[in-house]
Structure 1
Amino acid sequence: MGVGDWLRSWPVYRQLTGADPLGRGSAAQSARSRSLVPRTASADRVVHSVCPYCAVGCAQNVYVKDEQVVQIEGNPDSPISRGRLCPKGSASKQLVTGPQRVQKVLYRAPYGTQWQELDLPTAMDMVAERVLDARRKGWQDRDEHGNTLRRTMGLASLGGATLDNEENFLIKKLFTALGAIQIENQARI
């Protein structure tokens, strides 16, 4: 690299001699930074979502390539957050792609002494079967006077204060739809 090449590669020289006197554009770019492309440019599609952390409800654009999340950014069309995310929301990609994400469920059979790993679909099927079984066993269609009840005494829910309002609202709707009447939240107790 000669002196002339070195001088032309120097940002201050490009700033003083080029079309970018304030040094905010091409004068400040190196050859490497000119070749960079955003992670979002290669995405196959954009999925709209909501940040899972708090009850504010900041909208997110989730960029997906080959069915893998490549980037999560704030959605500028959101009237709530206008494209901004807090540090936790900005790092929410780690929830999906981080190496610490649990991919298996630990299960210990009744009276068992050892844990066994189950894949998530198997565990979800087991939970669904047990919920429906408890609902069926505790179902009350009518009381002793013939009044319609349509409820189950086999299910109850106690929500925690770590859940946000939306999660507790959805849990309330789910358990009400299942026919449960014992639905409570720690924040209300």
Structure 2
Amino acid sequence: MARFSPLEWPVMRQLRTGDKLGRGPAVESPKTKSMQARTSTADSVVQSVCPFCAVGCGQKVFVKDGRVTQIEGDPDSPISRGRLCPKGASSEQLVNSPLRQTTVRYRAPYATEWQDLDRDTAIDMIADRFVKARRDHWQDVDAHGRPLHRTMGIASLGGATLDNEENYLIKKLFTAAGAIQIENQARI
């Protein structure tokens, strides 16, 4: 271990470097000088939008070796100007959580265990049930013969992790299918 020289005391460094207020390099320790931002080693930086609500705060996603390493507010965003709420600031944990489900899980009626399904099978099951519910609960006219053209067998409840574009597409899909019970968690 090298001996500490009195010439390296912060006060002496202030006098040597002309840093009169002691707010610059004179007060940096060797450890501080060797530190670097965790975002400086990223392979790429991708602009994104926070997934938690419909505000649309801008985010910078830092990627290294194909893995998200950090997510920060995007100062170029006219909406959030680099700021994120606590939920937006925790986006990296959402992406990298070991508890995150990355497969389609299905529990059959009356079953006690979950099973993994491939994506195509799950999409086919959902589509079949969607079409059947629409067909079985379709209402063409009411009791007085007035046209309805709706289904009461389908409803949608959007969540806070959907962005504006996803909510727009969901609204269009369910309206085109004849559903009238379309709601979002943000309004409840």
Query: Partner amino acid for 1:31?
Result: P
TM-score normalised over the length of structure 2: 0.73
* Cα distance in 2 for residues equivalent to 1:134 and 1:154: 14
User: Do residues 79 (structure 1) and 78 (structure 2) align?
Assistant: yes
Aligned to 2:116: 118
Distance in structure 2 (CA, Å) of the matches to 1:60 and 1:163: 15
How is 1:1-16 mapped onto 2 (pairs within 5 angstroms)?
1-2=2-3, 5-16=4-15
State the identity %: 47
User: 2: CA distance between counterparts of 1:186 and 1:40?
Assistant: 35
SS at match of 2:128: helix
| Corresponding residue of 2:51 | 52
Q: How many residues in Structure 1 have an aligned counterpart in Structure 2?
A: 175
Corresponding residue for residue 157 of structure 2: 159
CA contact (8 A) 1:134 1:155 kept: no
Segments of structure 1 that go 5 or more residues without pairing to the other structure are: none
By relative contact order (CA 8 Å, sep 6+), the higher-ranking structure is 2
Counterpart secondary structure, 1:73: strand
> What do you get for the CA RMSD once the two structures are aligned?
3.3
Q: Which stretches of structure 1, 4 residues or more, deviate above 4 A after TM superposition? A: 151-155, 160-165, 186-189
TM-score by length of 1: 0.73
Structure 2: segments with no counterpart, 5+ residues:
142-146
Deviation track 1:127-162 (CA, whole Å, cap 9, x = no partner) reads 42123213444459xx79xxxx9x784861232675
Separation (CA, whole Å) in 2 of partners of 1:71 and 1:161: 24
1:42 aligns with 2:47: no
- The correspondence of residues 1-189 of structure 1 with structure 2, limited to 5 A, is 1-2=2-3, 5-112=4-111, 114-118=112-116, 122=118, 124-137=119-132, 138-139=134-135, 153=151, 156-159=154-157, 166=164, 168-177=167-176, 179-185=177-183
Give the deviation of 1:23 after TM superposition.
Answer: 2.2
With over 3 angstroms needed to count, the CA separation of the structure-2 counterparts of 1:8 and 1:53, relative to structure 1, is farther
Distance 1:162 1:45, change over 3 A: closer
Q: Is the 8 A contact 1:44 1:65 kept in 2?
A: yes
